[in-house]
Chain A
Amino acid sequence: MSTVIENAALKNSALEYIEETIEAVPELVEVRTSAAEGFAENNFPSIKDEEWKYTNVKQLVSSNYAFDVKEAAISSDDIKGYLIEGVETLVFVNGKYNAGLSNFNSSEKVYINTFAEALNSDKKELLLENFGKHADNNLPFVGLNTASTTEGVFIHAKRNAIKEESVMILNVVSQSNLVIQPRLLVIAEEGTQISYVERNAILNNAEGTLVNAVSEVTIGERANVNHIKIQDEDQSTQLVTVTEAKQADNSVYDNVTITTGGKLVRNNLNISLGEHCEGHMTGLYLLDEKSFVDNHTMVDHKMPNSYSNELYKGILSGKSKAIFNGKIFVREDAQKTNAFQSNKNILLSPDAVVDTKPQLEIWADDVSCSHGCTVGALDEEPMFYLRARGIPEDQARALLTYAFAGDVIEKIKNEAIRNVVQRMVANAMGYPLD
């Protein structure tokens, strides 16, 4: 399947790092070792792999990165701009958990903590039963993350527990050319409701960061899980994420991914659905300069009577490029499936590029599926209407692109988070809100 990539500096340095740190957390040695073996055998993908046809990671994997962390003095002032009112936060600085900067409430009903703490508690068994069991360690980036894991975040919501407050995992990087590998394990039992956010913060002009993140999410019956990724990355950051969500019957999973930049961003979002489930995948990518974003999504309808709804929207200027690849599987048993997918793009510059590819594989015969994609310039008629009312061209364009993004932003239920994203998007579009 994979092709050999020469000069895989990342692989060599990663294997070295894994070997050096393998004993760091005794409980994780076994799963890490097994993942490391797989990682050593598998090569990073090349553009000859169908799944990576448009996203060339050659430079990403042949660059030199630091795995070793230097001491970093980060103050609460430094991260102030990334915090969201009313949202609890776990802060990692250069991959290391920072208790002083973190502020969250873990309870008997909804346990939230680091792997280190969890392994030191009665959560140990549960963590070990689930860590590395849902995401596919044979995929090179997943295998690398699992094999490297010494720390992570574990969220466990016990039956019928509801946590009103959202929790944000903030990964701060203050050192150039560093690799960080955030790991998240979520277990939402039957009838629970939780909401969390993942975000990165590059500080002190750190450049060339590689973030390789993996989230494993298990959603019990009737549970409702909200998952938001805020990717306001800088122009030198590379980000690869894998999210693996498994939904039991009657559950709802709602993923919103907002990307406003990045040298190379590749999101892999995989959802599998039980019966009577709802799976929502919503994304917005707002790119300029040479940003590159690739959203690969996969929804697997395994059982009947479920609903999946996917809406990804893109606004591209400069020489930016976006890939959208949306797979929908409807298995033979998944009768009465409703699956919808839509990818809409606005190109604001002649040099911006979008490759969009819907992929539907349907084996059941009584289903309702639709997909559609559009790529185009901003409509002229609304532009003229706004300008003819006295609104300058630039502002009219910003207003219309902002409006285009509106229905994606509206999907964020938490008001404080929605406001932050709204502001972020408006600023990125040159339409600052009052």
Chain B
Amino acid sequence: MLKINDLKASIEDKEILKGINLDIKEGEVHAIMGPNGSGKSTLASVLAGREDYEVDGGDVDFDGEDLLEMSPEERAQKGLFLAFQYPVEIPGVSNTNFLRTAVNEVRKARGEEPYNAANFMKEMKEKMKIVSIDKSLMSRSLNEGFSGGEKKRNEIFHMAMLDPKLAILDETDSGLDIDALRIVANGVNTLRDGNRSFVVVTHYQRLLDYIVPDFVHVLYKGKIVKSGTKELALELEEKGYDWIIQEVEGNN
């Protein structure tokens, strides 16, 4: 599904990713953990195509195609989804109109008929249930004045509507209380159908109690320094990141 090979990226001449290797297969859930500033969000951004970052080396294969050659919209149309750490507030663009434009662009790119108004509403109603998102948020401006929890639910709702092959969740747990976290995690689990793959970027193990990963990777100073299964996350929760940092720095 996604094969990252020696990916290097920088921003304003500052090297952030220093050679990432990752192989994500269909239906797998990979957690990327790591201390602040290790490059987790950069990895998510580079994969989604944020133009502030310069890719200095390596390649990324997404379903047989060169991901790094694609524009952000092409990536989305081919089935990559990024749930933003900080969903952007866009006054004047209604959640529904935006989503209809986005969904129909994605459908068009996949060779599917765009939804008419009725079909779209039906689809929306169904997918709203997944994150039990309030109907009133649909007619409001995109994320404008939404609470932190509403924003993150809205992200997962967008994901459900866009039906991606691979979803990257960038610190989706940040700023959520436990109830909101459960709702968001349940939404993700509902969409975990054995075909769709996930990359869950998080600082804390807490989210992984609810979205149980198949693999856990620790990112430190722009490299994956340790990989394991879900037990690695528990170990990190218990012991913090210091022991890994020591292990890495000791090796140098």
Contacts and interface: CB of A to CB of B under 8 A. Distances in A.
Interface of A: 380-382, 384-393, 395-396, 399-400, 402-407
B186 to A, nearest CB: 22
A173 to B, nearest CB: 34
Interface string B81-123: 0101001101111000010011101100100000000000000
A386 B162 CA distance: 13
A361 B84 CA distance: 46
B229 interface: no
A393 B77 CA distance: 13
A390 B71 CA distance: 10
Contact of B106 (A382, A386, A390): A390
Nearest to B80: A388
Nearest to A403: B92
Given A390-B105, A391-B105, A399-B101, A385 B84 contact: yes
A122 to B, nearest CB: 49
Interface of A is mostly: helix
B72 interface: yes
Contacts of A393: 71, 73
Contact of A381 (B72, B82, B88, B162): B88
Interface in B47-85: 48-52, 71-73, 75-77, 82, 84
A385 B88 contact: yes
B24 to A, nearest CB: 19
Q: Which of A389, A402, A407 has the most CB of B within 10 A?
A: A389
Contacts of A389: 76, 98, 102, 158, 162
B51 A384 contact: yes
Contact of A387 (B73, B90, B141): B73
Interface of B: 48-52, 71-73, 75-77, 82, 84, 87-88, 90-93, 98, 101-103, 105-106, 109, 141, 158, 162
10 contacts: A384-B50, A388-B50, A388-B82, A389-B76, A391-B73, A392-B73, A393-B73, A395-B101, A400-B90, A403-B90
Contacts of B73: 387-388, 390-393, 396
A385 B92 contact: no
A386 B98 contact: yes
Contacts of B48: 388
Contacts of A382: 88, 90
A342 to B, nearest CB: 14
Contacts of B71: 387, 393
Contacts of B158: 389
Contacts of B77: 390
Nearest to B88: A385
Nearest to A392: B73
